[in-house]
C-alpha cells in the first residue's frame, strides 16, 4: 500500500515538472520583456506554442534519416526523466534512488548527444555549426558540472540528490567557501547548458549567435514541440537543482502526508519564481560573449568547481 502511495506521489512529481516547465519559461520571458519596457507575451504563451506545434504536420528533409525522427522523442524522454529525478516538493521519492546526480548529468549528456546527431543528420552547414559548438561547450560544461557534483557529494557523503538536500537542511553546514564556489560554478554551467545569455541567445536565429537554435533549425511540427518542451524541462531542472541544494528550506520528506506536500509545493513555486526573476535580470544586464570566449567562461567554471573540490579535500582534515 505504501509503495502504491509513493508511486502515486512520484507520478505526480513527474507530471508536475512537465506542467510547470513551460510556465517557468513564459514567466522568464515576460520578466525580461517588462525589464526592457515591453509588454511581453502572456505567461501561458509557451503552452500555446506547444499546442500549435503539436497539431502541425512535420516537414522532413529528403536526406533526414530515422535518427532525425526518433531523436526528439529520446531527447524529450531523457530530459523528462532527469527532471523527474530532482526533488521539487518532496525528497526521497521512490524513483530517486534509482539514479543520482551523476546519472542526471549523464542523462542530459544523452539528450545532447542525440540533439547533436540530429543537427548533423540533414547534411546542411547550419546543423554542423550548432553541433560542433554545442559539443565544444559541453566538453567544458559537463566536467564543470561533475566537479560541482563532486563538491556536493564530498560534503554530504552521498551522490543522491535527496541525501544532499537532507544534509543541506541539517545543522552541520555553516557557510563554507566550497559551497559558494560550487554555487557560482553551477550557475555558470546552468547558463551555458540552457543556452542563455551570455553563452547563447535563445531568442535569435542569427548564424553568428546560434548554438542550440542551429541544431534544431530543420525541425518542425510535433518534433519541434518535443524539443522545445525538453529545453523548458532543462531550465526547470537546473533551477530545481539550485533550489534543492542551496535553498533547501521547505522540502518535505517522503511520507509526510498531503498537507506537507502542498505547503512544500507552494514554497517550490516561490523558489522557481525567484530564480526565474534573477535569471531574467541577469540576462538583461549583460551582453552575449563571442563563441571562443565561452570556452574561457566555462574553463573558469571548471576551475571553480575544481577549486571547490580541492578545498574540500584539504579542509576536511583541517
Partner 1 sequence: MDQLALDVAHMFAGGLVLVSFMLLYQDRMTGIVNIFALHALVVSLSVAWQAYIQHAPHLYITAAIALVVKAIVIPVALHRIIVRLGIHRTIEPVVGIGLTMLAGIGLVALSIMVMLPITAEAGTLAREDLAFALSVILLGLLMMISRRNAVSQVIGFMSIENGLILAATGAKGMPLVVEISVAFSILIALIVIGIFLFRIRERFDSVDIHLLHEHRGEQP
Partner 2 sequence: MALEALLWCVAALLGTSVAAVAAARHRAASAPVYGVALCASSAAMLVAGWSLVTAGPLASALLLPVGLPWLGAHFRLDALAAFFLLVVNLGGATASLYGLGYGRHEEAPARVLPFFPAFLAGMNLVVLADDAFTFLFTWEFMSLSSWALVMAHHRRPGNAAAGYIYLLMASFGTLALLLAFGLLAGPAGGYAFDAIRDSAPSASVSGTVLALALVGAGSKAGLVPLHVWLPLAHPAAPSHVSALMSGVMTKVAVYGFVRVVFDLLGEPSWWWGALVPFLGGVTAVMGVLYALMEHDLKRLLAYHTVENIGIIFIGLGLALAFQANDMQGAAALALTAALFHVFNHSVFKSLLFFGAGAVLVRTGERDMEHLGGLIQRMPYTAFAFLIGSAAISALPPFNGFVSEWLTFQAILLSPALPQWSLKFLVPAIGALLALSAALAAACFVKAFGVTFLGRPRSQVARDATEADAWSLAAMFVLVALCLVAGILPGYFIDALSPVTQALVGAHVPRQEERSWLMIVPIAESRSSYNGLLLFAFIALAALSATYVIHRWASAATRRSPPWDCGFPDASPLTQYTAGSFSQPIRKVFGSVVFRAREEVHIPAPGDAGPRRFHVSLRDVPWDVLYVPTASFVNFTARHLNKVQFLTIRAYLSLVFAALVVLLIVLAIWQ
Of residues 26 through 45, those in contact with partner 2 by CB under 8 A are none
Of 27 and 159, which has the nearer Cβ to partner 2? 159
Closest CB 166 distance from partner 1, rounded Å: 20
Element (H, E) at 90: strand 90-91
Inter-CA distances, 259 with 86, 90, 256, 265, Å: 20, 12, 8, 10
C-alpha distances out from residue 254 to 8, 86, 251, Å: 12, 13, 9
Q: Is 288 in the site for partner 1 (CB under 8 A)?
A: no
Quote the cell numbers at residue 173: 553546514
The residue among 243 and 304 lying less far from partner 2, judged by its C-beta, is: 304
For partner 2, the binding residue among 154, 184, 273, 289 (CB under 8 A) is: 154
Which residue's C-alpha cell is 579535500?
Answer: 313
| CA 222 – CA 57 distance, rounded (Å) | 7
Judged by CB under 8 A, the chain residues 166 through 185 that form the site for partner 1 are 174-178, 180-181, 184
- Distance of closest approach, residue 287 Cβ to partner 1, in angstroms: 13
- Residue selected from 134, 223, 306, 312 as contacting partner 1 according to rule CB under 8 A: 306
Rounded alpha-carbon distances, angstroms, from residue 301 to 24, 143, 144, 148, 238: 25, 9, 6, 9, 15
Among 16, 81, 164, 189, binds partner 2 (CB under 8 A): 81
**Dihedrals phi, psi of 219, to nearest 5 degrees:** -85, 150
- Which pairs count as long-range contacts for 44-52, CB under 8 Å and 24+ apart, including other chains? 46/22, 46/228, 46/232, 47/22, 47/23, 49/22, 49/225, 49/228, 50/22, 50/225, 50/228, 50/229
User: How far apart (Å, rounded) are the C-alpha atoms in residues 207 and 92?
Assistant: 44
Angstrom distance (rounded) from CA 94 to CA 35: 41
In 3D space, the residue among 291, 287, 289 whose CA is nearest the CA of residue 133 turns out to be 291
Q: How far is the CB of 239 from partner 2 (least distance, A)?
A: 21
Stretch that binds partner 2, among 105-113, 175-183, 237-245, 255-263 (CB under 8 A): 105-113
- Binds 270: which of partner 1, partner 2, none (CB < 5-8 Å by kind): none
CB 215, min distance to partner 1, A:
25
Applying the rule CB under 8 A, the residues between 43 and 72 that interact with partner 2 are 54-67
Asked if 11 touches partner 2 (CB under 8 A), the answer is no
Window 178 to 217, contacts with partner 1 (CB under 8 A): 178, 180-181, 184
Instruction: Determine if 312 is a binding residue for partner 2 (CB under 8 A).
Output: yes
Residue 140 engages partner 2 in binding (rule: CB under 8 A) = yes
By CB under 8 A, tell whether 256 contacts partner 1: no
By CB under 8 A, name the one of 21, 27, 76, 200 that touches partner 2. 76
As measured in angstroms, the least distance from the Cβ of 242 to partner 2 is: 20
95 binds partner 2 (CB under 8 A): yes
- The residues that touch partner 1, with contacts defined as CB under 8 A, are 174-178, 180-181, 184, 295-296, 299-300, 303-304, 306-307, 310-311, 314-315, 317-318
Amino acid at each position: 500500500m505504501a509503495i502504491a502511495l509513493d508511486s502515486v506521489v512520484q507520478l505526480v512529481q513527474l507530471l508536475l515538472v512537465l506542467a510547470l516547465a513551460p510556465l517557468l519559461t513564459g514567466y522568464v520571458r515576460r520578466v525580461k520583456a517588462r525589464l526592457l519596457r515591453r509588454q511581453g507575451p502572456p505567461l501561458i504563451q509557451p503552452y500555446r506554442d506547444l499546442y500549435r506545434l503539436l497539431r502541425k504536420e512535420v516537414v522532413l528533409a529528403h536526406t533526414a534519416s530515422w535518427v532525425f525522427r526518433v531523436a526528439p522523442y529520446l531527447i524529450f524522454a531523457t530530459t523528462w526523466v532527469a527532471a523527474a529525478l530532482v526533488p521539487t516538493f518532496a525528497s526521497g521519492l521512490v524513483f530517486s534512488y534509482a539514479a543520482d546526480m551523476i546519472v542526471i548529468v549523464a542523462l542530459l549528456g544523452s539528450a545532447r548527444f542525440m540533439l547533436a546527431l540530429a543537427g548533423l543528420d540533414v547534411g546542411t552547414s547550419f546543423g554542423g555549426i550548432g553541433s560542433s559548438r554545442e559539443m565544444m561547450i559541453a566538453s567544458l560544461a559537463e566536467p564543470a558540472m561533475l566537479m560541482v557534483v563532486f563538491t556536493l557529494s564530498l560534503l554530504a557523503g552521498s551522490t543522491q540528490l535527496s541525501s544532499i538536500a537532507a544534509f543541506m537542511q541539517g545543522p552541520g553546514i555553516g557557510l563554507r567557501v566550497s559551497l559558494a564556489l560550487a554555487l557560482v560554478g553551477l550557475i555558470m554551467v546552468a547558463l551555458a547548458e540552457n543556452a542563455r545569455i551570455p553563452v547563447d541567445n535563445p531568442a535569435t536565429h542569427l548564424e553568428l549567435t546560434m548554438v542550440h537554435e542551429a541544431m534544431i533549425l530543420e525541425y518542425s511540427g510535433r518534433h519541434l514541440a518535443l524539443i522545445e518542451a525538453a529545453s523548458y524541462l532543462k531550465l526547470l531542472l537546473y533551477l530545481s537543482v539550485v533550489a534543492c541544494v542551496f535553498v533547501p528550506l521547505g522540502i518535505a520528506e517522503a511520507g509526510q502526508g498531503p498537507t506537507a506536500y502542498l505547503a512544500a509545493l507552494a514554497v517550490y513555486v516561490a523558489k522557481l519564481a525567484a530564480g526565474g526573476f534573477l535569471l531574467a535580470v541577469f540576462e538583461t544586464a549583460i551582453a552575449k560573449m563571442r563563441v571562443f570566449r565561452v570556452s574561457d567562461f566555462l574553463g573558469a567554471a571548471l576551475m571553480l568547481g575544481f577549486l571547490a573540490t580541492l578545498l574540500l579535500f584539504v579542509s576536511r582534515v583541517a
